[in-house]
Amino acid sequence: MLRPRVAELTFTIMKAHLTGLPVGARVIALALALLATLGCRELRPPEAIPTVVVEASGETEPVATADADAADDPAIWRNPADPEASWIIGTDKKAGIHVYGLDGRSRFFLADGRLNNVDLVEGGGVGVIVVASDRNDPGAAVLRIYRLETTAPALISLGTVAGGVGEAYGLALWLGPQGLHAYSVLKSGAIEEVLIDLSGGSPVGRTLRRLQLASQAEGCVVDPRDGTLYVAEEAVGIWRFGRSDTAGTLVASVDGRFLAADVEGLAVVTDGVEGGVLVASSQGDNAFAVFALPWVSPVGRFRVGAGAYGAVEETDGIDVRGGTFGPRFLGGLLVVQDGVNGARAQNFKLIDWGHVRRALGEGVTTAR
């Protein structure tokens, strides 16, 4: 490859030898020479924008599945009466589903096999409902439904509904005017919106909408205020789907600076009628990107660095909730899967969301 200075000199020499040609021929030749010159310049990968570092304030016990990519996705239930008695639901995608306390201890485990993503909602007279994407059959996605007993804790199985044809991967919930909506993101990039009826003896699912992305997708989250769905297409970026959309809008692209492939877990923190932030796991460079809502405008990036609980790498699922969770998490709680946990099996790291807000500055200080 020619160095830039050599290419520029070549262009100058060519220009000098074109003076006798007709004007049209000179224009074409000079354009070709310019393209050749640009092609000779060294190409450098884009540099990531500055990334602040925070530390974890806690962690869960490692999952039981060692020497494997096993811990995957968390969901947070905040106890409004006693925030320190809140629970974290986390999947071991090789074995089942845990309920952790804020001290990191696993208080309950259900061996339901290959459960990938998990989410929960509260309300509608049915208690706290937890749904996990079940990939035990890679050809037929299943949504496995539980009720969280918040005092024990325990997960009570309520049954299953179909989640689409293909391997179950991502999962997000929304409690809307019609009831409980589950968004089943299949590994292929297909997305099924399923309305789940819990009024009878067993859950009943009805597909409301089918959407499609071009390649592998997983991470997803719903803005609880209006049902807007965000989905991470791992090698492409983050898509937004309105309540009645049949096609999505790409609102944040993988550019190697703010988002690096793979784009994985997504979480939303709301503020007022339409404000707040969208947080994304930029797994390709072990960072997290934060966007301001409603425009999905880049705010900043952060990493979880080495501290008392170790650094975080290769994160899949994330969740975040505002409001205090006791003295260790006064500014809210961010839970992220840790894909590299030293000599131990994978686990989930717990971060005070207030630490992230302060590190990033004004862009997120109003997000709760």
Q: What pLDDT score was predicted for residue 305?
A: 96
- Please give the mean pLDDT across all residues of the chain: 88
Closest by CA to 129, choosing from 142, 141, 140, 118, is 118
Residues 48-99 pLDDT 10s:
578 999 999 999 999 988 888 899 999 999 999 999 999 999 999 999 999 9
Residue 7: band (very low, low, confident or very high) from pLDDT cuts 50, 70, 90? very low
Question: Helix (H, G, I), strand (E, B), or coil: what is residue 175?
Answer: strand
Could you tell me how many helices (H) and strands (E) the chain has, helices first?
A: 3, 25
Question: Before 74, cis peptide (omega within 30)?
Answer: no
Q: What pLDDT score was predicted for residue 65?
A: 84
Judged by phi (left if over 0) then psi (alpha if -120 to 50, else beta), residue 147 lies in beta
Residue 32: band (very low, low, confident or very high) from pLDDT cuts 50, 70, 90? very low
Residues 283-318 pLDDT 10s:
999 999 999 999 999 999 999 999 999 999 999 999
Residues 156-189 pLDDT 10s:
999 999 999 999 999 999 999 999 999 999 999 9
Q: What pLDDT score was predicted for residue 15?
A: 41
Give the pTM: 0.86
Q: What pLDDT score was predicted for residue 126?
A: 82
CA-angle at 9, arms to 7 and 14, nearest 5°: 95
Q: Is the dihedral of CA 65, 66, 72, 76 positive or negative?
A: positive
Give the count of beta carbons closer than 10 Å to the beta carbon of residue 196: 20
Mean pLDDT of 264-273: 96
